[in-house]
């Protein structure tokens, strides 16, 4: 992976820039009325982390025989998430603000490229003081197919008028890595405790944290 000519860093949102996975799980429990003993955190980790909401909803309905239509369940989850975000924001991952400040000082552009919905990402950006660093937000709502398809990354490249070789993608899940790689973008995987068991063999590099990635970037630039 050639870092010398990198012009932009493209961050995933959930689990990469913000620590949101456990909150999403708790909101799924609230939305469905399922107990954590029935719909366990382990099940969520194995089947829902890094997966678009429509796939999550279909899995939960089938797994637990719920009397919901997928779109109804998604709509209720969205409403409950919006309610949560009125008074909270997903907390930034350790080192997120610092490395964005450092990248900005190097003249490197930054964007968020996520399968999540725009309202949640915008709340993270405003609530965690990312606004001054993030040039564009591109979401799965804007493209025909969400991650692991490359569409959302290709859309981001189009917005930023960049080629894949100008960028690095930062992802925390297998689906996210596969999306970036399918778009031709070099990808750094930073697994978190919820995604660590996933397959990251397609990533160009694995790092333990955002701070470790920044150190790797500077040492190899």
pLDDT tens per residue across span 26-50:
999 999 999 999 999 999 988 888 7
- Which residue in this structure is represented by tokens 């399922």? 34
Q: Which residues are CB-contacts of 186 (< 8 A; sequence separation ≥ 6)? A: 1, 2, 164, 165, 167, 168, 169, 180, 204
Full-model pTM:
0.90
Residue 110 tokens read as 């930054």
Please report the pLDDT score of residue 208 as a whole number: 96
Q: CA 25 to CA 193: how far, in whole Å?
A: 14
Q: CA 143 to CA 120: how far, in whole Å?
A: 17
- The sign of the torsion formed by the CA atoms of 53, 54, 57, 59 equals negative
CATH hierarchy code of domain 8-20+90-220: 3.40.50.1000
Please report the pLDDT score of residue 52 as a whole number: 82
Please report the pLDDT score of residue 1 as a whole number: 81
CA distances from 82 to 33, 85, 87, 170 (A): 18, 5, 9, 26
Task: Flag residues of the chain having pLDDT under 70.
Answer: none
Cα 33–chain centre separation? 26
Please report the pLDDT score of residue 2 as a whole number: 84
């Amino acid at each position: 992976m050639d870092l010398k000519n990198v012009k932009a860093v493209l961050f995933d949102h959930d689990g990469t820039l913000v620590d949101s996975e456990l909150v999403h799980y708790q909101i799924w429990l609230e939305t469905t009325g399922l107990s954590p003993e029935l719909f366990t955190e382990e099940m969520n980790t194995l089947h829902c982390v890094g997966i678009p909401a429509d796939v999550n909803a279909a899995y939960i309905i089938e797994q637990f025989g719920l009397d919901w239509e997928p779109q109804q369940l998604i709509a209720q989850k969205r409403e409950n998430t919006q309610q949560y975000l009125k008074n909270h924001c997903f907390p930034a991952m350790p080192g997120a603000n610092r490395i964005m400040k450092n990248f900005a000082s190097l003249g490197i552009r930054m964007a968020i490229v996520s399968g999540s919905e725009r309202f949640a990402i915008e709340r993270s950006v405003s609530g965690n003081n990312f606004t001054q660093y993030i040039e564009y937000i591109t979401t799965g709502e804007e493209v025909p197919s969400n991650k692991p398809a490359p569409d959302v990354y290709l859309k981001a490249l189009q917005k930023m008028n960049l080629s894949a070789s100008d960028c690095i993608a930062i992802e925390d899940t297998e689906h996210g890595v596969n999306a970036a790689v399918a778009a031709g973008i070099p990808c750094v995987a930073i697994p978190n405790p919820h995604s660590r068991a996933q397959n990251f063999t397609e990533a160009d590099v694995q790092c333990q944290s955002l701070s470790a990635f920044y150190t790797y970037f500077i040492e190899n630039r």
